Amino acid sequence: MTTTPERTATDLVTVTIDGVSVDVPKDTLVIRAAEQVGVQIPRFCDHPLLAPVGACRQCLVDVPDAGNGRALPKPQASCTLPVADGMVVNTQLTSGVADKAQQGVMELLLINHPLDCPVCDKGGECPLQNQAMSNGRGDSRFEGVKRTFPKPIHLSPQVLLDRERCIVCQRCTRFAEEVAGDPFISLVERGARQQIGIAEDAPFLSYFAGNTIQICPVGALTSEAYRFRSRPFDLVSSPGVAEHDACGAAIRVDHRRGKVMRRLSGDDPEVNEEWISDKDRFAFRYLTATDRLPYPQVRGDDGVLHPASWPEAFAVAARGLATARAAGGVGVLTGGRLTFEDAYAYSVFARVALGTNDVDFRARPHSDEETGFLGAHVAASGPVAGRRGVTYGDLEGARTVVLVGLEPEDEAGTIFLRLRKASRKGTTVLSVAPYLTRGADKVRALLVPTAPGEEGAVLRGLADRAEELAGSALGDQDVVLVGERLATSPGALTAAAELAAATGARLAWVPRRAGDRGAVEAGCLPTLLPGGRPVADASARVDAAAAWGVGSLPETPGRDAAAIAAAAAAGELAGLVVGGVDPDDTTDPATTRAALAAASFVVSLELRASEVTEHADVVLPIAPVTDKAGSFVTWEGRVRPFDAVFTVPGSLPDLRVLAGIAEELGTPLGFRTVDEARDQIEALGTWDGERPAAPVPAPAAPPAAHPASGGVVLALSTWRQLLDGGSLQDGDDALTQTRRPAVARLGQTAYDALGAPAEVTLHGDRGTLTLPVEVVRTMVDGVVWVPARSVGRGLLADLAGPGARLRVTAGGAL
């Protein structure tokens, strides 16, 4: 309204709503224009992020002048009516016609709606309930029998539908079709029996199905997880940030008497808009799992863990670490779920208290090339370092987005939704992958067929092929998203960086876990100090040493996670500090297990009892995300701070625990609270000196083919599905049931070569696995795809290491 006259002339039109004149952009809907003058028109089907449909007719307004001097003959649905210059609109506040029309619609909607508000989960936060009070009649003239349906039907194992409550606004079907791209639900039947339905053999298995529950304006859609568990008016809502992926989706944690009852999507237009994945929404029961560690434990002389007080545990841990430090050194494995501040504490703890650079956050396959890439291209980039990074908005505005080693639907749900939105507006998505996944298809991606391990070569050629593939050459409007999986493909990260440098396209690294990007910034890497400072740079070391109040810092770059595990297993490292690492996630689970068993002193900082606990000499329970403040750094480099939801005195964040041990060691970290850590991070700032050049990777030896004896030899392509065997998804059976089934995906050639089997057995160097077969038409020849963690202990433990070639035979394992 305070725009310049030129803009007013071109973009804005003037309308009069309830006698108030307002300038709004052309094509604005009347219902939005009314919001600008503070008039709330009742509505059900209208949602700002969905296309207008005019299904519920609740938003009727009177239009005495449509902008052409003539009145529209009947009340109009304001959610589908764009403004016109000079239009006059009278809402229910000033027009008896509009008010009567709205009341009539409300009366009709309520004819078949049951009055079971005390039972209904929506009761108390229900738009229908609220608007029936504000814009409805006090009583109904309907005297017949209400239409009823048999009580709820499962649209999916998680989502239930009470059909009699449905007012057929189609918000859910529109969401499924427009936003998620999973049109498994739609309107069926006609007239009074019109209802939302699914096909018999196709349940509503979408990774984003939970959003329909949240946007349902009545209580028709409910979740198995929250059904009848609480009432809205009993819940306290705290804002939070989702801890399941690196997208930093805003969530709302609704809790009651110290227990999380449900999680809803927060509203953050810059990040997740109003949508979150089902994992973010439903996977919170791990917080109340029975194997949560209640108090610190110390292994006694009898070899059994005994409960201990915090000071005692700190003292024992400090004593043991001091001995181990003297006996060969201590390695620090932090895991990928830390907050930025906690990761920073690990980073400082390793350097200051343990005097080592042997710290690595990567609890997954990784490579030296990746270490160099992170230091050269990822650390100290983006908003966290005060620089401009690739953002969600950039994805939406890009001409072309190249996905390499990244399956957004599984690995970064919020990116997937943004890409889908972008692709509907014309962005071209190129997916460098072995086959066109369903998720890639939903973002209308064009497949650049690539066998695993050949990403580097394909990326080197992509600058020339982009125009032919995507219709335009890559430029500075375009984005290359590389996934963390690319670390297992030699040369690929380097090629991606070269591609970005050559074309001007912007590069972003998308890790899978929430804490990964923050750990890079915090310096949980053997070659990096906080703020992207290279360990090898003397002035960077002086910088950090001055901030931490120590004389000097260890000079030699440390070992990475795999090397730490190998060194500990070989007896070179005497101690390990492990912060929530599942051995099955690491490059070589057997080595990690051997390292845990061989290390003379193991300190475990964990939320729940795990395999590490069995080997640990000191077990320190740490606070889950609900009990501590902190921040996650998204893949964009955006810092997403959050506050503690609960105040639990005995629940300490990692940084407080590490500070306690460091103080016992006589080398205080300089902070004990999250705020103090933030102050120190800010005081330290980011590195603005010379960046380390990414090392040129050695040419990779071709993976040794598995000794073939029958069957075919195929390259293994794998990633983790959104819902799989991860321990953060424990406790919700309905969520477990919405997992996609584990299948082995084969190309037609391999399928035919095997004789069209119903299931295949995969033989790797670490074990064998039998899975049902699914044929994928677009699959590159010579590749088999298997989900990484959906069966058993995961592929790394049960099948083969990263980049392996497998022998595949038809039929079950015999």
* Long-range Cβ pairs for the range 305-309 (8 Å, 24+): 305/613, 305/616, 305/619
| Rounded least distance, CB 265 to other proteins, Å | 23
- What are 429's strand-pairing partners? 401, 445
H helix runs in 443-489, sequence order: 455-470
Report whether 607 contacts 621 (CB < 8 A).
yes
Site for other proteins in 472-511 (CB under 8 A): none
| Choice between 21 and 148, CB closer to other proteins | 148
Contact between 228 and other proteins (CB under 8 A)?
Answer: yes
Select 292 or 465, whichever has its Cβ closest to other proteins.
292
Nearest to other proteins of 258, 549 (CB atom): 258
Binds other proteins (CB under 8 A): choice among 64, 86, 104, 123: 123
Give yes or no for residue 542 binding other proteins (CB under 8 A): no
Neighbours of 304 (CB within 10 A): 8
Under the binding rule (CB under 8 A), the answer on residue 233 touching other proteins is: yes
Candidates 59-67, 402-410, 562-570, 647-655; binding stretch for other proteins (CB under 8 A): 647-655
Sequence-distant (6+) residues with CB within 8 A of 756 are none
- Select the span of 26-34, 225-233, 657-665, 796-804 touching other proteins (CB under 8 A): 225-233
Q: Scan residues 193-212 and list those touching other proteins (CB under 8 A).
A: none
Q: Which is nearer to other proteins, 157 or 453 (CB)?
A: 157
SS3 annotation, 250-287: EEEEEEECCEEEEEEECCECCCCECCCCHHHHHCCHHH
Binder to other proteins among 231, 252, 319, 740 (CB under 8 A)? 231
The CA distance from 85 to 425, in Å, is 27
Does 290 participate in binding other proteins (rule CB under 8 A)? no
649 forms part of the interface with other proteins (CB under 8 A) = yes
Site residues for other proteins, 236-275, by CB under 8 A, read 257-259
CB of 231 to other proteins, least distance (A): 4
Strand pairing class (20-25; 359-360): unpaired
The only residue of 137, 229, 387, 388 in contact with other proteins, by rule CB under 8 A: 229
Residue 414: alpha-carbon gap to chain centroid: 6
* Alpha carbon distances (Å) from 227 to 159, 161, 204, 455: 10, 11, 18, 46
For residues 605 and 654, is the Cβ–Cβ distance under 8 A? yes
> In the range 383-412, which residues lie near other proteins by CB under 8 A?
none
* CB of 261 vs other proteins, minimal distance in Å: 10
Question: To 5 degrees, how large is the angle CA 28–CA 29–CA 34?
Answer: 100
Burial 552-589 (b: 16+ CB within 10 A, else e): ebbeebbbbbbbbbbbbbeeebbbbbbbbbbbbbbbbb
From residue 650 to residue 689, what is the string marking binding to other proteins with x (rule CB under 8 A)? x---------------------------------------
Residue 231 or 444 having the CB closest to other proteins: 231
Question: Which of 145, 701 has the CB closer to other proteins?
Answer: 145
Per-residue contact string for residues 148-187; x = within reach of other proteins by CB under 8 A = ---xx-----------------------------------
Q: Which two tokens stand for residue 470?
A: 């995507």
Scanning 166-174, 228-236, 377-385, 773-781 for contacts with other proteins by CB under 8 A, the matching segment is 228-236
Task: Show Cβ contacts of residue 579 under 8 Å, excluding neighbours closer than 6 positions.
Answer: 332, 333, 334, 335, 338, 342, 346, 605, 606, 622, 654
Minimum CB separation from other proteins for residue 116, in Å?
8
**Contact region for other proteins (CB under 8 A) — 114-122, 238-246, 271-279, 660-668?**
114-122
Q: Which two tokens stand for residue 256?
A: 């009651």
| Stretch of 223-231, 268-276, 317-325, 378-386 lying at the interface with other proteins (CB under 8 A) | 223-231
User: Closest CB to other proteins among 4 and 647?
Assistant: 647
**What does each C-alpha distance from 432 to 313, 395, 446, 702 come to in angstroms?**
49, 17, 9, 20
Instruction: Give whichever of 259 and 387 is closer to other proteins, judged by the CB atom.
Output: 259
Among 11, 27, 189, 234, binds other proteins (CB under 8 A): 234
Which candidate, 442, 518, 444, 427, places its Cα nearest to that of 479?
Answer: 427
Q: Are strands 783-787 and 712-719 parallel, antiparallel or unpaired?
A: parallel
Minimum CB distance to other proteins, residue 110 (Å): 17
Identify the helix (H) or strand (E) that includes residue 785: strand 783-787
230 binds other proteins (CB under 8 A): yes
Angle of CA points 688, 546, 669, to nearest 5°: 110
Q: State the Cα–Cα distance between residues 664 and 668, nearest whole angstrom.
A: 8
Interaction of residue 147 with other proteins, rule CB under 8 A = no
Count residues near other proteins (CB under 8 A).
Answer: 19
Q: What six digits make up the tokens of 527?
A: 């070659």
235 or 338, CB closer to other proteins? 235
The answer to whether residue 306 forms part of the interface with other proteins (CB under 8 A) is no
The structure tokens listed for 793 are 């202990």
Contact call for residue 571 and other proteins (CB under 8 A): no
Window of 90-98, 384-392, 644-652, 703-711 that interacts with other proteins by CB under 8 A: 644-652
Query: Nearer Cβ to other proteins, position 114 or 383?
Result: 114
Q: Which residues between 519 and 538 bind other proteins (CB under 8 A)?
A: none
For tokens 């606990």, what's the residue? 613
Phi/psi at 25 (5° precision): -60, 150
| Cβ nearer to other proteins, comparing 463 with 648 | 648
Give the interface with other proteins as residue ranges (CB under 8 A): 116, 118-119, 123, 151-152, 227-231, 233-234, 257-259, 648-650
